[in-house]
Structures are given as structure tokens and as C-alpha cells.
């Protein structure tokens, strides 16, 4: 009995010491956990030149191409720097970018880059400088065509902008702030954007929106896909300050290609019109007309003597496609029609009284004819 009492007496201090050890360890672990939860990883937002993190990649499964080197090498040779001098002087008044589209010197730029200026000079990637002739310009799409006396140039191929997908990678190439051959990367953020930047009721705005960095001087430059094909011509930025703030806008290549063909052949754009007053289908219109989807273009009025009247279009028809290409909004419809010349015929998919119809062989009239009927 005495031995049992001695054993218990010895065990109690050991148990107490062990329990205290466990408690302190648990307390330390809990305090560490609380500290982690209540003190998130916060750091000052200054840039540390001693240990830059420029090449750090996002964690997780976020996909980024290995690099853009091959695409950039394909494109930079075809993007030029444009300087416009004041009339009658050699002092520069404005500038921007341009894209070579033929080996014999035809170059795309924006109308606003060269409009109202004097002598236009084009500087190639190899630093050779040429005086450019303005072949033609179209304020309604903000495009212009230049020509320099050169040969053996490296042009860009056109991509099919209808196939461009929201979310795909694109590069913007141009000369922001006169910094030549600048390449930035981003994704296509949206298509068919109207930002009300072009003047005139016949203006076409169906921009490709991207988050690739575009700044003053990029106007007229290239937006390309990963194959180095021309997706669009950079034209505008969404900005309160005049510099890049997150989104930029490019004229889609399918429209560019048509306007360039017109300017080269005629010196002016050959613009076809339907002759309708239209508006986007919204939720209220979709409900009134029992539409399954909130998309399409409502015909508000049909102009007398217009292509639309000849084709039998009526007020309250809803246009949903041109030649089988879906037109979910006014910009998309305007872009599709603008790809055709007066005298061309198209088919229109419409909804009338709940039924889908196709109006075939709609012969388009030109802008001049449309405007003369309104006088």
C-alpha cells in the first residue's frame, strides 16, 4: 500500500508537467492560427527595384502563352509610324500608326490621324521615311488609305473578324507617344461595341473591344491574333484622362478590308444602305413581340423608295440576320450591310408576327440615292 502511494505521488507531478507542455503547445498553435487569420498578407504597393517580379506568373490554372515573340516578329515589320505636318510647314501637327497591306506600299490608317493635316510622312520599321499620298478616306468608318513609293514590303494578312472570339488573345502594335514598334497583349473583351465617337447618322461603329494597352499614337495600328493576322485597326480608347484606362476599340478587319478595296478603286467608300430607322431589341420589346431571346433589330420605320421598301420590309419587323450571319444588335446589322456596295443583293432573316421569314435578293441602294430621296 505504501508503495502504491509513493507511485501515485511521483506520477502526479509528471502528468501535470506533461499537461502543461501540451497546453502551451496548443496555445501557441492557436495563437499562430489567429494571427494568420487576422493579419492577411498585406504589402506596400511600391516597386522594389532590388527584387523585381516582372516575370512572375499567376498561380493556379490561369493560362498564358509561353511568349508572344513569334507573333510580334511577324507584325512589327508591317506597322509604320505616321507623322502629319502643319499645312505649308515642316512642323509636325499630329501622328499615329499605320498598317502595310500590300508589298507595293498601300497602308491603312485612321481618318482622324491624317484628316485636316498637310504633308503625310511614313516611317517604316527599318527607319526609312517616305512621303505618302492620301488615296482616299472615309469619315463614316474612320479609315483612310495611304500609298508610298516602295516595293518589297512585308504586309499583314487579313483575319476573318467574324471568327474572332471573346476571350482570345490579341496583340496591339503601334507607336504610342511616338514610341515606335510597341507591342502590348490582351484579350478580346467584347464585339459589336458602339461608343458614339464617330459623327454623322451614317457612321458605322461595331468595334472589337480589347484590354490590350492602347494609348495616343496607337491609332491606325494593328490588332492581330496569335497567327499574326490583322483582326482590326486600333481607333479609340475609353478614357477620362486621354491615356489608357483599361479598354480600347478596333475597327473589325472584315469592314476594313471592304473599305480599303473601295478607297483603292474609287477613292471613296461605296456605302450601301437598307433605308430603315432601327433600334436594338430590349427586354420590353422582346416581351411585346413574344421573342425567345432579347436580341435582334427592330424596324421602326421604312423609308419611301428604299431598298427595304422594295424588299417588302415593314414597320415592326425584327431583323435577326444578313446572309445567314446573326445580327443581334444595331452595330452588328450596320457592319454587315456596310460590307456591301450599292447594287449588291443580300438576304435578310426577319421575324414578323412571331414567324421567322427570309427576304431574299434585297438589292441595296447607295448613300447618295438614299440622301436624295430625303430632300
Among the listed residues 142, 303, 317, 349, the single catalytic one is 142
Q: For residue range 58-92, list pLDDT tens digits in order.
A: 444 445 677 899 999 999 999 999 999 887 777 77
CA distance 158 to 251: 12
**Nearest to residue 250, comparing CAs of 97, 66, 32?**
97
DSSP three-state, residue 362: strand
Averaged pLDDT for residues 318-325: 96
**The pLDDT of residue 105:** 97
Is 288 one of the annotated active-site residues of the chain? no
**Nearest to residue 95, comparing CAs of 105, 86, 104, 106?**
86
Q: What is the pairing mode between strands 143-147 and 106-109?
A: antiparallel
Q: For residue range 171-226, list pLDDT tens digits in order.
A: 999 999 888 889 999 999 999 999 888 887 889 999 999 999 998 899 999 999 99
CATH fold for the domain made of 65-269: Thrombin, subunit H (2.40.10)
Most confident of 59-63, 89-93, 235-239, 271-275: 271-275
Is 203 one of the annotated active-site residues of the chain? no
Please report, for the chain, the start and end positions of each structural domain, with discontinuous segments joined by +: 65-269, 272-373
The domain made up of 272-373 is a member of CATH 2.30.42.10: yes
Averaged pLDDT for residues 249-273: 96
Averaged pLDDT for residues 232-245: 83
- Is the pLDDT at 335 greater than 70? The verdict is yes
CA distance 97 to 109: 6
Choice among 193-207, 303-317, 352-366 with the minimum mean pLDDT: 193-207
Is 219 one of the annotated active-site residues of the chain? yes
State the residue for C-alpha cell 427592330.
298
List the helix and strand counts (H, then E) for the chain. Answer: 8, 20
Give how far Cα 301 sits from Cα of 277, 279, 313, Å.
5, 10, 9
Among the listed residues 97, 112, 161, 189, the single catalytic one is 112
CA distance 112 to 94: 10
**Nearest to residue 349, comparing CAs of 317, 320, 310?**
320
Within a 13 Å sphere around the CA of 234, how many CA atoms are in the beta-carbon half? 35
CA distance 241 to 315: 43
Give how far Cα 366 sits from Cα of 255, 261, 337, 369, Å.
17, 16, 11, 5
Among the listed residues 94, 123, 206, 219, the single catalytic one is 219
Beta strands in the chain (DSSP E): 79-85, 92-100, 106-109, 120-123, 129-138, 143-147, 169-174, 182-193, 207-210, 222-224, 230-238, 247-252, 272-273, 276-280, 297-302, 318-322, 325-326, 345-352, 355-363, 365-366
CA distance 171 to 347: 35
Amino acid at each position: 500500500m505504501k508503495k502504491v502511494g509513493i507511485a501515485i505521488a511521483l506520477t502526479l507531478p509528471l502528468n501535470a508537467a506533461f499537461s502543461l507542455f501540451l497546453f502551451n503547445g496548443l496555445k501557441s498553435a492557436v495563437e499562430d492560427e489567429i494571427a494568420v487569420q487576422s493579419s492577411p498578407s498585406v504589402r506596400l504597393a511600391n516597386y522594389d527595384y532590388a527584387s523585381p517580379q516582372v516575370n512572375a506568373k499567376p498561380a493556379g490554372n490561369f493560362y498564358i502563352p509561353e511568349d508572344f515573340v513569334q507573333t510580334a516578329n511577324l507584325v512589327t515589320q508591317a506597322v509604320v509610324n505616321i507623322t502629319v505636318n502643319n499645312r505649308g510647314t515642316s512642323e509636325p501637327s499630329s501622328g499615329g500608326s499605320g498598317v502595310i497591306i500590300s508589298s507595293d506600299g498601300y497602308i491603312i490608317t485612321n481618318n482622324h490621324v491624317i484628316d485636316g493635316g498637310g504633308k503625310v510622312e511614313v516611317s517604316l520599321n527599318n527607319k526609312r521615311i517616305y512621303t505618302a499620298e492620301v488615296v482616299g478616306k472615309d469619315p463614316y468608318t474612320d479609315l483612310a488609305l495611304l500609298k508610298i513609293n516602295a516595293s518589297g514590303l512585308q504586309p499583314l494578312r487579313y483575319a476573318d473578324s467574324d471568327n474572332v472570339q471573346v476571350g482570345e488573345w490579341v496583340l496591339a502594335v503601334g507607336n504610342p507617344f511616338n514610341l515606335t514598334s510597341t507591342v502590348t497583349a490582351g484579350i478580346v473583351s467584347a464585339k459589336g461595341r458602339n461608343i458614339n465617337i464617330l459623327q454623322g447618322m451614317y457612321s458605322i461603329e461595331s468595334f472589337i473591344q480589347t484590354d490590350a494597352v492602347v494609348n495616343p499614337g496607337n491609332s491606325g495600328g494593328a490588332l492581330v491574333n496569335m497567327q499574326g493576322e490583322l483582326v482590326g485597326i486600333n481607333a479609340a480608347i475609353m478614357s477620362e484622362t486621354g491615356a489608357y484606362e483599361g479598354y480600347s476599340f478596333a475597327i473589325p478587319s472584315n469592314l476594313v478590308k471592304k473599305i480599303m478595296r473601295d478607297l483603292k478603286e474609287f477613292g471613296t467608300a461605296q456605302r450601301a444602305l437598307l433605308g430603315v430607322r432601327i433600334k436594338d431589341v430590349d427586354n420590353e420589346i422582346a416581351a411585346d413581340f413574344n421573342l425567345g431571346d432579347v436580341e435582334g433589330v427592330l424596324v421602326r420605320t421604312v423609308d419611301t423608295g428604299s431598298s427595304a421598301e422594295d424588299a417588302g420590309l415593314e414597320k415592326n419587323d425584327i431583323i435577326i440576320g444578313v446572309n445567314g450571319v446573326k445580327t443581334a444588335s444595331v452595330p452588328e446589322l450596320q457592319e454587315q450591310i456596310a460590307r456591301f456596295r450599292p447594287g449588291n443583293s443580300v438576304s435578310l432573316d426577319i421575324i414578323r408576327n412571331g414567324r421567322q421569314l427570309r427576304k431574299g435578293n434585297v438589292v441595296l441602294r447607295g448613300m447618295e440615292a438614299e440622301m436624295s430621296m430625303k430632300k
